[in-house]
Every structure is written in C-alpha cells, then in structure tokens.
Structure 1
Amino acid sequence: MAASRSAEQTHLRDMEGEDAGTDEREMQSDEEEEEAMGDANSDDEADTSEDEKENEAEIQRLEEQLSINAFDYNCHVDLIKLLKQEGELLRLRKARQKMSELFPLTEEIWLDWLKDEIRLTEEEPNREKVYELFERAVQDYICPDIWLEYAQYSIGGMGSPGGIEKVRAIFERAVTAVGLHVTKGQMVWEAYREFENVILSTVQPPAGKIPSHEEQKLLNAQLERIQTLFRRQLAVPSIDMEATFAEYGEWAENGVPDSAQHQYKKALQLMEKCKAYEEALLVAEPPKLAEYQSYIDYELKEGDPARIQLIFERALAENCLVPDMWAKYTKYLDRQLRIKDLVLSCHERAVRNCPWTMGLWKGYILALERHGAEHQTVLDVFEKALNAGFIQATDYVEIWQAYLDYLRRRVDFSKESSKELEELRSSFSRSLEYMKQDVEERFGESGDPSCIIMQIWARIEALHCKNMQKARELWDSIMTKGNAKYANMWLEYYNLERSYGDAVHCRKALHRAVQCTSDYPEHVCEVLLTFERVEGSLEDWDVAVQKTETKLNRINEQRAKVAEKEANFARQEEERAEQRQKAKADKKAYKKTQKGVRVGEKRKAEQDSFADEWNDDLEQGSKRHKGNGDQMTEELMETETGLFGKNAPPGYKSAPQSSKTDGSVAQRENYDKPELRNDNCSVFISNLAYTLEEPETKLRTLFETCGPIKQIRPIFSNKGTFKGYGYVQFDSQLSVSEALKLDRKEVEGRPMFVSPCVDKSKNPDFKVFKYNTMIEKHKIFISGLPFSCTKEQLEKICTSHGNIKEVRLVTYRSGKPKGLAYVEFANESQASQAVLKLDGTEVEGNTISVAISNPPRRNTIDKPSSSRHFEDIAPRQFHGARGKGRTQLSLLPRSLNRQSGSGSKVENGTPAQSVSATSNATGDTKPLSNADFAKMLLNK
C-alpha cells in the first residue's frame, strides 16, 4: 500500500510538473503571438500610413487640376470618392458643393451626400439645412428615390409644431412629381398611405370607449383621407395595380366604390398600352435612348402633359448628355405648358448638362425674354454662353445674333437716344471685336464671312435710327472684307440705299458693283440699266451703257480664253487616250507573239530533255535494282512531279499525296481552272513580306482556325519569288467572315490585309474602303499620340467620355504608327464632350490635339467635261502633300511621263513592264534620235 501510494505521489508530481511546463509553454506561446500580432499591426499601420500619403497626394493633385479646369466632371467625381474614402467630411462637403454649383448631380451622388448630411446633423436645429439640401436635390432631376428619402426624413420631424402638415406637403409634392412613374411611383404612394395609417392609429379611440363628437370628426376625416389616397393611386397606371386594388377592398368596410372601380379599369387599359414600352426599357441596356424616344413619341400622341413631362424626365435622367433630347423637351415646354418656373428650370438644367450646345443657350435666352426675366439675368446667361466653349465658329455668331435681337427689342426707337440704344450699339461693336480677336484666333476663321452681324446693324441704323451715314460706313467695312466681288452683296446695299437713301448713292453703289463684281456681272449690269431707265438722264444712261459694255466685253474675252484652253486641254486628253489605247494594243499583240514563241520553244526543249533523262534513269534503275523496278519508277515519278509540277510530260500523273504540304502541289494544278474557283468563299491576302518563307504553309496555319480550306494560292513572280499577296479559298462561305476578322493581324512585323475576293472586272464599282470627305460629328481625330500608344490604352483614355464603337490607329503599310487615331462614339454629344475634355491633355509626355473628324477632300485634277469657274484657267496639278517647289523642275519630257504613268497595265495584281511605243514586233527597241527627243519636248 505504501509503495502504491508513493508511486501515486510520484505520478502526481510528474503530472504537476508537466502541467507547469505546459503553462509555461502556453504563456511563452501567447507572448510570441502578441509579439507577432504587434509586428503585424505595425506593418498594417505602416501600410495604412503609406496608403494615406498616396491618397492625400492624389487628392492634392485633383484639387490642383480643378483649380486649372473647374469643368472637369470626372475629376470632381474622383475627388469626391477619395475624400469619402478618407473620411474628410468637411473637405468632402466643400467638394460636393463646388460640383453642384457647376453640374447637376446624379441620383447616386445626391443620395450619398444626403445620407452623410443626415448622419452629421441629427440635432433638431440642423434639420433645416438638410431640408434645404433636399430642395436642391429634387431640382436637378425628378428621381423617385430622392423624393422617397425626402418624405421619410421629414417624418422624423412630425413631432415639432406643424410637423404633420409639413410631412403631408412633402408627400403631396412627391406624388405630384413622381406619382405617375409606372415602375417606381408606387413606392411613394405606399409610403404616403403608411404615414396616414400611423396618424389614423393616433386618433382612434381605445376599445370600448365611445368617441366624442370632435374625436369622431377627426376619425372620419382621417379615414376619408386614406380612401382618397387609395382612389388617387388606383387612377394611375402602375406596376402591381391589382395588389393595391385588393388591399383597398380589404381595407374598405363596404368594398371598393363604383367610381373607384371605373377609374381603376381605365388605368388598367392605359397600363396595357404602356406595358410594351416599359418592358422594352427593362430589357434594354443603357442609355436606352431609342426605347425612350419611342415611349416619348407615344405619350406625345396621347397628349397628357403630366405624363409627357415625366417620361422626358426619366429619359434625361439616363441621357443627360444628349442635347437633342433636351432641345425636344424644352421646345415642348415652351410651346405647350408655358409655366415660367418649370420652363426656366428646364432650360437651366439643359445648359448645365450640355454647355457646348449653342442651340440650348439660344433657347434659354429666348425663354428668359419670353417670361419677362430681368435684364441682368439675361446678360449673365449670355456671358456664361460665351464661356461655354462651342466647337464651331458659327455658333458664336448665332449666340451673338440671339442676344443682339433681344437688345434690339428692348429699345424704344421713338426716342432719339436712350440707355438701351447705347447698350445695343456698344454690344454690336463688342460683337465685331469679339469675332475678330477671340473667334478668329481660336478657329482660324471668322465664322461670319458674309458679315451678317454688320448687315443687321446697318439695317437697324437705316430703318430705326435714320442714320444712313453710319449704315454706309458699315457697308464700306463689309465690302473691304472680301465681299466686293459678290453681286448679291452689292444688291443688298443697293436695296438699302433704295429704301432709306437717295438716288445719288444708289447710282454710286451700282457703278461700283459693275466695276467690282466677278461672279454675276450681267445681273448687276442689268440692274444698273434698269435704274437709269427709271430715274437717270440721257447722260447717265450713256455712261451706264458704256461702263456695262466695257465690263461685259472684258468678261467675254476672259471666258473665251478659258473656253479655248479647256478645249485644248480636252483635245490633248483625247489624243493621250488614243495613244494609250494604241500602246496597249501594240503591247498586248507583242506580248502574245513573244509568249507563244518562247513558251513553245521552252516546252519542246524541256520535253526532249526530260524524255532523254527519263529513259536514262529507267535504264540505270533497272540494271541496279532488278527486283525493285516498280518501286524505283514510283520514286522517280514522285520526285519529278514535285519538281516540274504543271510542266510534267503529257500523260504523266503524280502518285497520291498524303501530307498537307504535298497535297498543295496537287492543288496548284487546279489554280487555272475557273470552274474550281469560288470568289464567294475566298479572301484576298496582301501586304505580306516578300521574304516570307513557305507562304502557303504560313497562310494555312493562319487561316485553318476559320474553317476547312479548299485551296491556298500564293502569287509568285517569274523568278519564283513571293509577291506578298495571294488567295485563300474555303469550303464554306461562313468561313469568310471569320477570315476577315484577321485583317491587319501582324505577320512577321507587317500588318496583313484581308479583304473580300471580288472580280473587279465584273464589279467595277466595288471598293473595300470608301474615303469619307464629310464631317463626322460622332467621331474624333487625335494627333500627336506617342508611337508607343496602343489601341487598348487609347480606348481606356476615351471610354470615360462615352460609349466607344471603334478605335482605329493610323499606321504606315509597314505597321509602324503615325501618331494619329480615330475614335468613334455612339453619338455626337459624346464626341463633343471628348473633344472638350481631351484636347490639349498629355499622353505619356506628348500633348495631343483632339478635334471632330473632318477629313479633307481628295485632290483630283479637273476633267475637261466638268463645269469650272471661268477664272480657273489652268488645271490644277498636285505634287505630294505640300505641292511642288518652284525649283523642283522635272527634266524628263512630259510625253515620257505620260507613257510611264498611263501605259502600265496591271495583270493579276502585278504591274507589267511598260513597252515603249517605238518597240517593233520582234521586241527590238529602235534607238531614239535627237529629232525624236525634240518631238517629245515640243509635244505639249
């Protein structure tokens, strides 16, 4: 027993020792974990501090950029995101405030801002600031979510004096603004009814208690208020109307009234008509412009102003940068609703969203005048328009005209002088100075070549102010700006003098017109003679006849010279055409003769040589390999077929082929058989390197993923070198579309061109690429790009400004970039926005230039049959991009130039060697004498 007890004690001591050791190890482990956690925390703190430093540097960069260009929309958005991430609430509030002063904010930005302000201002006295912010939010766009948030926030203040009435007022404004929204309006209606149900619970008497007369009156009024909400909601078409109708039936003690049922059925019918448009919006992808346009057209036919206004607002909430949509909406409000606050608010939002659109500013100025706005307000709007950054010089002319028209309508011309008249004259002077300094410097053109503004000013001075002296000064200035050669300008001036001047100045104007006009001199001559018939003396008549005859004789002489030169030019062109046709015919006959002789001799020599070698090889093979004669014959036949191809002896057939490379040899025998070709299943490959090894194998590797290949035809020269182009024919026409996707794929450092295979002799009008010469307002042209810029980088730069349809980098034929690119956007407004935001920015250290795509016209030499101005005497010639220098004289006779330029013929895509017109039938070229060269030089 003692021994066992001692053993037990020893075992207990060992266990206690182990426990103690375990505790020590656990404590040590905890300490190590704490140290590790401390190290990790210090690392996290270091990383956090680094992130904070980077974010702060980025915030400062964005703030500096906004100080330079305050209208950078994306920069505002990025700054707000960073400040919110860093928790800089005060700076965040200032950033949002600055952005809201320049741009209407989207629904998401407003909701974030409102929720942050609600959390910051939980105290009662600060609720008014939040109310003011909500009022600003609902002015930018009509958004159901913002109105719902506004109403719910107001419920929190219903305990204050007048709080319940304020909540009801906000709910009433909300259902008026968005209650007709088919998909989201129901939320506002239900929230309104829930609020009224809460009020109902407060006025209901406890169970078993008989309400007093006043209590019963309040109860009945609240019940009627809820019933009214049910009836109003059921009269509006919306999603899930059936559930609302069922809820009303359960709530009402006597069921749904007949009048409410009638309104409900009408709303259901209307909902059925709208259902297709709503479903189209649900499945469409943003911006859903086409779907909204169809919906708007439907509502315009129905003619309900409230519904029309709401569908416009819904469309603009998702397409706020579409000027045409704003123009259509403002025009509807101007002509139909004519409610001052609503119209002016819409115009203001339109120019804030699309400031680059002149038409919206012009409509805004007219709307301000139409609704009697103060002069200072109109002036402020006009000054903002001048700083909006229009993209065309003519836009500035139109906005100045709109403002000057407004100023002219303010003037009372019955008074000799007034403040308004002085302001009108000073504004005319300022407009001319503005067009000369600002517009011409920016666009390189005046924007008002016909001097429309000066013409209007002159008419106002003559008609209203009776100041012909000022009008004449203005017309003198108009004529000195390059308009004196136009007959219509002189006739405008003559009509002005005829209406408000005297006969002396009329005669003087017509005499100057006859002297200076170059476009329609007969017309002004006829007007002068008619004037003298009516008012002139015999002496005046004689002077007019003499002057007009002199002018017309001089003009007729010039026209005769021009006609003679054109006739000579046409005759020379006909002679050149005849020479080209004759040269082509001679060359064709010569080549046919030479080809027949050479091919016959070559084929006979090859056949004789091949027959001798063939017999020798067979004899030697039969002697060396008596038992393997057949095998030797097959090997020789395969070898010779691979070498000779189509030049094998008559009756010779190749052995069956197995591999792809050998199979192509058999395919070459079918290249010249038209019945085996199919252009619909073929593509033309070009711009490949001449040094491409095994082009057939390379093309097969490139295009075998597009579909089964029937044959590949690389084109070789007479020397056997690859010409850089060929044809690929597929088994199916479906493979062609896949092959065309490989266009401009880089092959050994060069872009490979893939185009449809079309016989141009049968389709002469077919062109793979048509050069556009018209302005492309939905496309921008970018120059100054670094050569290292890729298509993906450029697409990333431009994608923030709109939906990109295509990005094309301009390259040389070798594939090297030119630093130019075209970017096509979904619509014109996005392209305009990209021009405003990207022009002058830097890309990898290069300052790029961005403009609306406006390709130059192709330079072509005028044909003699074309009608040209009689002053254009000689046909234009073009020598390169910058023309031909005066000292760059060509010492080669023109006749040789014409032969080399026009006598070449293209066969199978390869220019044939030009044959001299002096070559004889045997191919020998006659030496040219000095007399021959003299004839060439004198042949003009």
Structure 2
Amino acid sequence: MDDTELLTSSEQKKDDASISPAAAEAVPPSSDDSGESDSDSEDDAELNHQIETLESELSANPYDYDAYVQYIKLLRKTANLEKLRQAREAMSAIFPLSPSLWLEWARDEASLASSENVPEIVKLYERGLSDYQSVSLWCDYLNFLLESDPSVHGYTPDGISKMRSLFERAIPAAGFHVTEGNRIWEGYREFEQGILATIDKADVEERNKQIQRIRSIFHRHLSVPLENLSSTLIAYKAWESEQGIDLDNESDDLSKVSPQAAVAYKKAQQMYSERAHLEGNISKKDLSDTEKFQQFMNYIKFEQTSGDPTRVQAIYERAVAEYPVSSDLWIDYTCYLDKTLKVGKSITHAYSRATRSCPWTGDLWTRYLLALERGSASEEEIYAVFDKSLQCTFSSFEEYLELYLTRVDGLRRRMLSTKMVETLDYSLIRETFQQASGYLTPHMQNTDSLLRLHAYWANLELNIGKDLAAARGVWDSFLKKSGGMLAAWHAYIDMEVRLGHVKEARSIYRRCYTRKFDGNGSEDICHRWLRFEREHGALEDFDHAVQKVTPRLEELQLIRLQQESLAVKPPAGLKEHNPPKSTREKRKAGPNVEEESLAKRQKSKGQKMNEVDAEGKSATVPNTKNVKADIAKAADSNKSEIEDAKPAKPKIYTDECTAFISNLSVKAQEEDVRKFFSDVGGVVSIRILHDKNTGKPRGLAYVDFVDDEHLAAAIAKNRKMFLNKKISIARSNPKKGKKEFTRHGSEGSGNSKDTSQISEKAKAPLGGETEGERRGNEVELKGKNTFAVPRNVKALGFTTPKPIADETPKSNDEFRNMFLK
C-alpha cells in the first residue's frame, strides 16, 4: 500500500469516526442519487460554515492552538490544498506542531509530489524533526527517501552516503527509544543488506567489507537496551549462518558469539530489565496526566544516575513530545544540557524549541540568551532572540527586567572582551537601558528592582561610556519619579563621594534633607549629612549642616511624639476594662500612711510633671513622687491594701495580656507584626520600641491581646521565623522575688526579670521619662531605688575611680526623710 492509499485510508477512518451511530441510523437507506446529492451539499454547506467560523476565531485570536488544529482537520476534508498549506504555515510560525500534525502534513504533500519535489518534502520532514524527535516521523522520513529518491533506491554513491548519514542521525535521536527504537536499527540493517545484494559476488573484497558493516550494525544493536532484544539475537545468528558461520541460532546460547558481542548483549539485557518497570509505568492507560508526568520525571532521574547523556536526552525527548507545554520540563531539560554539554548547537536548538513551546516563560528566554553568548553567536542572532522575547507576555515585570539585565550583561562582556571579532558600540547599552526604563518605570516605580537597574546604568555610563553628565542624568531622571526612595538618594550621593566630588554630594544633601521618607529615613538622611560634613567638610560646612538639620530633627521628633500619643488614645466606644489585680500586683500600704499630711501631698503634686495628650487634656506622668499620692489616697480610704496608683486617664496598657517580643527585625512595622499574629487574632495594640536618641528600632516590641487565650496562642509562635529572623515571644509579666526595679515596679525574682525593660529605665536620664512612662504605665517604687543613682557618660581617656564599698543606694524611707527635712 503506497502513501496515497495510506492517506486515503486514514482519512476514511477519521471521517467514519466523526459520524455518530445515532446520526448514521437517522439517515435512511436509499438508492436515490438525488437524495445523496442533497445530503452531500448539506454536508458541504455545514463544513464551509464551520470553516468560516474558525477563520473568524483565528482572526480575532491567532494564538488559539486548538482552533488551528480543528481548522486544519476540516480543511483536509476539502479540496482546497492551497488554503490548507497556508493554515499549516501560519500555525507552524507560531507553535511547534505535534509529530502527528507533521506526519499528516508530510504525507499529504508526499502523496502529490513527484521525484522533482523530493527536496521540498525533505525540508518538510526536517522542519518536523526540528520540533520533536519522533520515532514515527523518523521512520516515515527514511521510508520516503527509500521510495521516492532515485539516488537512494538506485544505490548510487551519493544516495548511499545520504542515507547512511541520515541513519546515523536517527540512531541517537530515536534508536534508544526502549520500546520503538528497534524500528530504526532494523531499517538501517535492511538498507545495508540491500546494498550487499547489489555487489557482484566476484568482488569478494567489497562484499566482505559490506558484510562486516552489517555485522557491526548487529553488534551495535545488541548492545542497546531495547524491548524484545532476544529476537534481534536470533536474527543475528540466522544472518551469520547465511554467511557460513554457525552460531546455534535455535537458542539464546552465546557460547559461539564473539566475546565482545556476548558481553554487550548481557549488559543490554540487564539494563533493559532495570528499565522495564519504568516503561510499564509511563505506558499505563489509566494514569492521569499528572501521574504520568511524574512517572516520566522518575524515569529521567533514573537515567541521570546512569551517567549516559545520550540515554538521558532520549528520555527527555520522549517527555517533551508527550508534554510540549510544560515549562518546568523544558527548564529541567535545558539545565541538564547546560550542565552536561556546556556549549553546542544542540543546546541552542533545544532552547529555540523550548521558547517556541513555552514562550510565556521568561527564565527560558534569559537562559537562551546566555546559551547563545556561550556559543559565540553573532550580535545579530542574539538581538533577534532578545527582540522576539520582548514580544511575549510574561506573568511579572520582574521577568522583563531580568531579560533587559541579561541583554546588558552580554553587551558589556562582549564589549570588554579581547576575543570579540565584532565591534560593539556603547550606544547599544544606552538604548537598552532607555528602553527598559521607559517600559518598566510606570509599572515598577519605587521598587528596589528598578533602583538596581538605574544604579547599574549609571555605573556603566561612568566606567564604559566615560560620561559623568550622563550618569548624573540617569539619577536625576530617576529621582524625579522615585524621589521618595531614600536608597536612591544614598546611591546618588555615594557615587559622587567615590568620585571625590564633595560639593556635588553636599548639593544633593541640601536637596533631599527636608524630604519625607518612610520609617526613620527622614532622620537618617539628616544624620548622614552631619557625618558626611565631619568626614569631608570644613567647620563652616559642618556648622551650616547643623543649622539646617537641627530644626528639621526637632520637627520630626515632635511629629513622632504626637504619633505616639495618638497610639495610646483609647478607641472610640471602648469601655474601660480593669480586671481584678492579682496578689502579686498588690502591695500593702506603708506603716506611716496615716501620718502623711495634706501639705506634703500638695507639695508632692506640685513637683509632678504633666504632659498633654493628643486631645489637649492633661495627663499626669508617673514618677517617684506618685508613691506619696498613692499613700495619701490609701490613708483617706482607710484601706489596709491598695492597688497601684492610677493616672487620671484610663489605663490602656496594663500588661495583663501582653507579649514581649525580642530579636525583632529593624524593618518590622506595626502592620507586619499584626499580619504575623493574624492567625492568632485578638491583637489590641502594638508598640515597637525605638532608641530615644537615634529614633532607630531596638528590635523589641509589646503586643497587647484581648485575653489570655489569645496571648497563649501568640506565645506558641515563639522561635518562629519573621522577616528572616527567629523572634522570641514571652509573656510580659515579671515574677516577684528579688528586689529589683522592673517595668511594672514589681520585685523581680532572680534572673527571671525582663532585662530589656530594666535597661530601658536605666538608659533614661535622671528625672526624664522612659518609653514605658510615655505609654501610660505607672512606676512603682519598691526596694532600693537603683534607677535614681546618677550615671555619667565617661569621657574618652578618662578612668572612673572605684566607688566606695559601703556607699550604697538609699532606700525609700531614706529618700522620704531627705524630702521631709
């Protein structure tokens, strides 16, 4: 049966299958020719309507793969061959066609071609094999040449050389297919046997050469782990007996086979037995696509452990033919080729196929450009791939950015390379940066990624372009659109400082020190300017900077204090909730409560400092004299036990249900902490501690919860990763015991006290407020007032004398006596 008959038979089967049994029964049997003619005309009209509908769909969306497949299927039923060719060409320009589509196309053209059109059909087969290495497509290609090429079936020297070269290409591409590879080997062997039949028996030398060639093909075939290899051994023995060599061809005995062939055969059989179950897994009919894909990946990993690159490539080719639009599979395949083969046309060809199959994957395009550069491709070829990649649609702008950066990287390397034959102009780099900036800025404004692009650009303008004005222009242009990025100003200033341009750097500081930046950025730029003038400026410059930044820092400090006072304001409608105090939070009134006079209480109140909250109401700031007011209240109420003194405004932060967090990232904001505890819930307020002098985060925070249940759930997240740091979470509730001042004024027990809270008070200046006092927490005096001992900052080079051993801090009673004198 020739190709035309095969095509006709195939089309007939498809046409028959397209008619449902119900439709077949609905057509009444009739011998009336006019009835058949009417039915055919109706079918043709319906067919043309479907074709027109698909043409409209493809005109609106030329990237509809399934519509193209259906369109070509319908056109094959018509006689419009030219339209069918155009449809196939249009589809192949966008998508890699499947092996079955290429097989149909090649057979359709071959059935109409003459011997003069053989080169055109050969090109068609080669195009198909450039997409997928299919065993069926290879066999069809080889059979076509054997039947249609006069030089091949005539066994001319050119035809023999052409076919041998083609078979040697087919063996690594399809001859290692475990279940179908035998077809390639058998075809190769039959072709060589056909040549042997044309050699004159009198030419013994030439016949012996050809016999040895066939024997070599048998030996190579027997060394490859393929299905049903034992039948190949039997065929080999039978062929050897035709040559007059008895190898006992009735059994699998290898005693008479050459030792090299016997060893290779045994090894191949063992390798096949190791792969038989893997072949069975990928050939199961009841597997889902996901399960089958996983079986292919298991097979690939197994072949990679064997260390044979040819076999690994063979199984990869089978997998991509089965799953052509799996980007993960193509990435895995190309990574293996990069690692194993390093450079070569096979790698760039694989990337070309990968980007045609998965054009939406930016990583494939990026690695394609790198593979072309490794292979020393021309600038024209690399630019064509880069330009094509920009026409694709990716899932994120980061992928476009990576493509632009890869393109610039390649231009820079080739421009500086001494091995480059081509001469590249720096304008190519500048144009690429300009294109990248113009496209990405509207979508990635105020991002670190876009900053990285412009920093790279400015650096290359200096180092390769040798144009300082252009580098400054890059920064000025970027800051016009992203002036709120503190890192951008720092980078611009650092460039000028590296170049030794002190005046220009100072000018940039003057431009940005009044700007508003996120977090502590506004304070940071002021302190940086001062440090810059210390290191690079004259005294007049330093004094000028101090004069400029001091009011700015005071303004920022005032704004921060207002924000903190707003943070402690109770939410609207929130009822005051003061749960009963536990025994540990109570203390007994002193023995001289009743002896406190009204005058002394008034004196104590007169010495107390007031602070104004965000609503303008006076809020009493607790200090050491609050104790006297508490005692006076206790005396007036005649209670034996009193609770801690309360400020005039409602207490919001009582630390009844508070978590203390340490080792917190300095980048953490309140919203980040709230999201971290979103699975726990119940968060009432969040307070991140900042250094009083610098305003920078201290890595500490308090989080108040509505009840103990939510607090316990929060503590369960202790030692979890948060912003790349493993944070510590504990209940903020210091134990009683050792007489030591703590955040609540309670007595600590041993080393279990909250040391971070103690150090906070210790850092506060005498008579000043601590962070805890600004939050509205009361300070209670118990034991020795160690916090009241003055602490002096030692001058550089000054040694503090040792204190007198018996000079100890004074107690509460001693302090009281001092004040009453």
TM surpasses 0.5: yes
Which residue of 2 is the match for residue 519 of structure 1?
A: 519
1:73-123 Cα distance to aligned partner (Å, 9 max, x none): 1221111001012233222122112212221110110111121122111x2
Which residue of 2 is the match for residue 245 of structure 1?
A: 233
Which residue of 2 is the match for residue 589 of structure 1?
A: none
Letter in 2 for 1:487: L
Q: Indicate the larger mover: 140-149 or 51-60.
A: 51-60
Alignment partner of 2:432 out of 408, 413, 427: 427
Matched, 1:166 2:162: yes
**Pair 1:509–1:446, CA change in 2 (3 A):** closer
- Quote the Cα distance in structure 2 between the aligned partners of 1:85 and 1:868: 78
- Quote the Cα distance in structure 2 between the aligned partners of 1:335 and 1:236: 25
Q: Give the C-alpha shift of residue 172 in structure 1.
A: 1.8
Letter in 1 for 2:172: T
- Quote the Cα distance in structure 2 between the aligned partners of 1:131 and 1:413: 41
1:673-702 Cα distance to aligned partner (Å, 9 max, x none): xxxxxxxxxxxxxxxxxxxxxxxxxxxxxx
User: Please, which runs of 5 or more residues in structure 2 have no aligned partner?
Assistant: 1-27, 248-256, 581-677, 697-821
Alignment partner of 2:396 out of 376, 392, 397: 392
Q: Give the C-alpha shift of residue 309 in structure 1.
A: 1.2
Q: CA RMSD in A?
A: 3.2
Which residue of 1 is the match for residue 189 of structure 2?
A: 193
Q: Give the C-alpha shift of residue 511 in structure 1.
A: 4.0
- Quote the Cα distance in structure 1 between the aligned partners of 2:87 and 2:546: 76
Is 2:360–2:394's contact at 8 Å kept on the other side of the alignment? yes
Which residue of 1 is the match for residue 175 of structure 2?
A: 179
- Quote the Cα distance in structure 2 between the aligned partners of 1:183 and 1:109: 22
Alignment partner of 1:145 out of 101, 120, 136: 136
SS in 1 for 2:569: helix
- Quote the Cα distance in structure 2 between the aligned partners of 1:525 and 1:448: 22
User: Please, which runs of 5 or more residues in structure 1 have no aligned partner?
Assistant: 1-35, 206-211, 580-856, 872-940
1:415-450 Cα distance to aligned partner (Å, 9 max, x none): xxx9712233233223333336xxx5xx79798874
Which residue of 2 is the match for residue 133 of structure 1?
A: 124
Q: Give the C-alpha shift of residue 145 in structure 1.
A: 0.9
Which residue of 1 is the match for residue 553 of structure 2?
A: 552
1:22-56 Cα distance to aligned partner (Å, 9 max, x none): xxxxxxxxxxxxxx998832222122212212222
Q: Give the C-alpha shift of residue 406 in structure 1.
A: 2.8
Letter in 1 for 2:497: R
- Quote the Cα distance in structure 1 between the aligned partners of 2:320 and 2:682: 49
- Quote the Cα distance in structure 2 between the aligned partners of 1:375 and 1:558: 57
Which residue of 2 is the match for residue 155 of structure 1?
A: 146
Alignment partner of 1:326 out of 306, 330, 333: 330
Q: Give the C-alpha shift of residue 577 in structure 1.
A: 9.0
Which residue of 2 is the match for residue 851 of structure 1?
A: none
Is 1:394–1:448's contact at 8 Å kept on the other side of the alignment? no
Matched, 1:91 2:83: yes
Which residue of 2 is the match for residue 465 of structure 1?
A: 465
- Quote the Cα distance in structure 2 between the aligned partners of 1:187 and 1:74: 31
- Quote the Cα distance in structure 2 between the aligned partners of 1:39 and 1:311: 55
Q: Indicate the larger mover: 244-253 or 104-113.
A: 244-253
- Quote the Cα distance in structure 2 between the aligned partners of 1:166 and 1:229: 17
Which residue of 2 is the match for residue 865 of structure 1?
A: 686
Is 1:393–1:446's contact at 8 Å kept on the other side of the alignment? no
**Pair 1:195–1:367, CA change in 2 (3 A):** same
Is 2:172–2:314's contact at 8 Å kept on the other side of the alignment? no
Which residue of 2 is the match for residue 119 of structure 1?
A: 111
SS in 2 for 1:372: coil
Q: Give the C-alpha shift of residue 513 in structure 1.
A: 4.3
Q: Give the C-alpha shift of residue 196 in structure 1.
A: 2.5
- Quote the Cα distance in structure 2 between the aligned partners of 1:481 and 1:280: 57
For 1:229-308, what aligned pairs fall within 5 Å after superposition?
229-252=217-240, 253-255=245-247, 256-283=257-284, 284-286=287-289, 288-308=292-312
- Quote the Cα distance in structure 2 between the aligned partners of 1:191 and 1:39: 48
Q: Give the C-alpha shift of residue 70 in structure 1.
A: 2.6
1:333-352 Cα distance to aligned partner (Å, 9 max, x none): 22321343211111111111
- Quote the Cα distance in structure 1 between the aligned partners of 2:266 and 2:76: 49
**Pair 1:574–1:564, CA change in 2 (3 A):** farther
Letter in 2 for 1:519: G
For 1:206-221, what aligned pairs fall within 5 Å after superposition?
212=202, 215-221=203-209
Letter in 1 for 2:153: G
1:541-573 Cα distance to aligned partner (Å, 9 max, x none): 223334444333323222222222222237975
1:480-533 Cα distance to aligned partner (Å, 9 max, x none): 223x33332222122211223511122233344433244333443443333222
Q: Give the C-alpha shift of residue 285 in structure 1.
A: 3.9
| TM-score scaled by length of structure 1 | 0.54
Letter in 2 for 1:222: Q
Which residue of 2 is the match for residue 489 of structure 1?
A: 488
Is 1:182–1:237's contact at 8 Å kept on the other side of the alignment? yes
Which residue of 2 is the match for residue 100 of structure 1?
A: 92
Letter in 2 for 1:159: H
Q: Give the C-alpha shift of residue 167 in structure 1.
A: 2.3
**Pair 1:224–1:281, CA change in 2 (3 A):** same
Q: Indicate the larger mover: 447-456 or 305-314.
A: 447-456
Letter in 2 for 1:493: Y
Which residue of 1 is the match for residue 212 of structure 2?
A: 224
Is 1:320–1:353's contact at 8 Å kept on the other side of the alignment? yes
- Quote the Cα distance in structure 1 between the aligned partners of 2:81 and 2:485: 65
Is 2:451–2:488's contact at 8 Å kept on the other side of the alignment? no
Is 1:231–1:260's contact at 8 Å kept on the other side of the alignment? yes
- Quote the Cα distance in structure 2 between the aligned partners of 1:155 and 1:370: 39
**Pair 1:465–1:192, CA change in 2 (3 A):** closer
- Quote the Cα distance in structure 1 between the aligned partners of 2:571 and 2:578: 10
Letter in 2 for 1:499: R
Is 1:468–1:500's contact at 8 Å kept on the other side of the alignment? no
Letter in 1 for 2:33: N
- Quote the Cα distance in structure 2 between the aligned partners of 1:520 and 1:301: 54
Is 1:181–1:310's contact at 8 Å kept on the other side of the alignment? yes
Is 1:401–1:453's contact at 8 Å kept on the other side of the alignment? yes
Letter in 2 for 1:95: A
SS in 1 for 2:564: helix
Matched, 1:569 2:570: yes
Is 2:534–2:542's contact at 8 Å kept on the other side of the alignment? yes
**Pair 1:868–1:113, CA change in 2 (3 A):** farther
SS in 2 for 1:864: strand
Alignment partner of 1:43 out of 18, 35, 42: 35
1:316-374 Cα distance to aligned partner (Å, 9 max, x none): 11111111211122222223213432111111111111111111111122222222222
Q: Give the C-alpha shift of residue 139 in structure 1.
A: 0.9
| TM-score scaled by length of structure 2 | 0.61
Is 1:330–1:346's contact at 8 Å kept on the other side of the alignment? yes
Is 1:286–1:318's contact at 8 Å kept on the other side of the alignment? no
SS in 1 for 2:226: coil
For 1:841-860, what aligned pairs fall within 5 Å after superposition?
none
Letter in 1 for 2:218: F
The aligned length equals 540
Which residue of 2 is the match for residue 355 of structure 1?
A: 359
Letter in 2 for 1:319: Y
For 1:529-678, what aligned pairs fall within 5 Å after superposition?
529-569=530-570, 573=574, 575=576
- Quote the Cα distance in structure 1 between the aligned partners of 2:578 and 2:193: 95
**Pair 1:576–1:378, CA change in 2 (3 A):** farther
For 1:739-888, what aligned pairs fall within 5 Å after superposition?
863-865=684-686
